[in-house]
Amino acid sequence: MMAGRVSAQTFTPINPPPCDFSDQFYGDNGLVSTTSGELNTEPDGRFGTFRQFGPPATGTQANWVADTTNCSATDPTRRNFRILATTGGNADDGNSPFSCADQGGAFAVPQCAGQSAGIPETLEFISILAFIHSQNAFESSYSRTVGAITNGGLDGVQQNDGEVISLKPGTDPEGNTTGLNPRGISMMQIVGHFEAYAHIRQKLPNGTFALNPCAADMVSPLAAATPCFSVADTKDANGNTVSDVASPNLAQNWRFATNRNAMDGSDGNCINNTDQNCKHKVFSDSPYGYFCDDLLGMWIITYFWFTQPPNTAVQPCHDVFAAMGAKNGFNVEGYPIILTAHELNDELEANGCGAEGQENTNGTDGGAAWLVCPAIPDPRNGAIATDAFLDVVTHNSLLDPFVSNNFACLKNNGKFCFESAPEF
């Protein structure tokens, strides 16, 4: 299937739509991109090679199309497969430039002028390119020279040895044995600072609720280990891999801790107090920026779950569930929607009503441990193409209409619904 971007938009597109990365760009940024690497093999290989049909798409809808016009032609770090599946979720840390009502308005910005009150969180639109199960997907050794010049210049005598992109085997400060850059930092270490929160459905076919995952290293002591819900991939009727975190397996939309850092310290992430903009601010050393250091847009998956059934009479969980659901809505299983770190950490987990965990990085738990899932930096002005489709988990969440309505506005008008359309 070969396609250019379908054009029925009433404005001039500026921002490019999402495409898969090139093999070289994956290698330069720490993932094995050879034909035998996890990116290019089952299970859950990358968009552009695998999973053109099936979750998150349904029926004849494709997840991606070949496109020689809008991918490598406009960005050499991309290959010619454009992503149609656009996953909607919310950022929970208030650092997105489009945040309007996060943390009681503490991070409100001018872009939100005119937006209706009561929107609990920030929109996030992402492209799930691949699911990563094992740390073997990360490069342990890599070297490529860029920018070398031999006999260049007007006189043919200019020389430049270029710069070497390199990774050498070692152990990073967080204990990961993997490839390290010249500063001793690994891609695993960087990605570990960006969490994507997944809530897998807990209701079993017999109608009972499992209160722990079927992975011994993730079991919470707050509930019985069995019965348990699966956190491993499965196969469909055609033998294709279905990720444990594919949309049909989720009970609510993704939630992302983006930790995005502003270069001028305007987000409060001041790593020293000597810069003019940071002299009077609290020292806050969050060392990595999503769009600065995590160039593949990867996330480590943090699974969270409830340790009581949704109809529990046990206190304080009964009241916690009711209050949270009244504010955010309830998911398809009757559990309250979780939108913020405060709700998960301070309301749910602190009261013994929920837990979280991550899959073993050696891949033995059988499900996805990381996502290659770049957030669209600015979804306005063409980044959401007219043939893109929205991938969400919807069920009576108060955020659902806001996500779907704004996706439609971005797709058709190039702006969020609360903004004026671009004038071109």
Burial class (CB in 10 A: 0-12, 13-18, 19+), 227: middle
Average pLDDT, the chain: 83
pLDDT category at 129 given cuts 50, 70, 90 is: very high
Q: Assess whether pLDDT exceeds 90 at residue 286.
A: no
Q: Assess whether pLDDT exceeds 90 at residue 336.
A: yes
pLDDT tens per residue, range 203-221: 999 999 999 999 999 999 9
pLDDT category at 396 given cuts 50, 70, 90 is: low
- The whole-number pLDDT of residue 8 equals 55
Output 266 or 301, whichever has higher pLDDT: 301
pLDDT tens per residue, range 16-72: 999 999 999 999 999 999 998 999 988 778 999 999 988 888 889 999 999 999 999
What are the tokens at 32? 């094995």
pLDDT tens per residue, range 157-195: 778 888 999 999 999 988 999 999 998 989 999 899 889
Evaluate whether 89 touches 256 at the Cβ level (below 8 Å): yes
| Range 240-261 average pLDDT | 84
Q: Assess whether pLDDT exceeds 60 at residue 98.
A: no
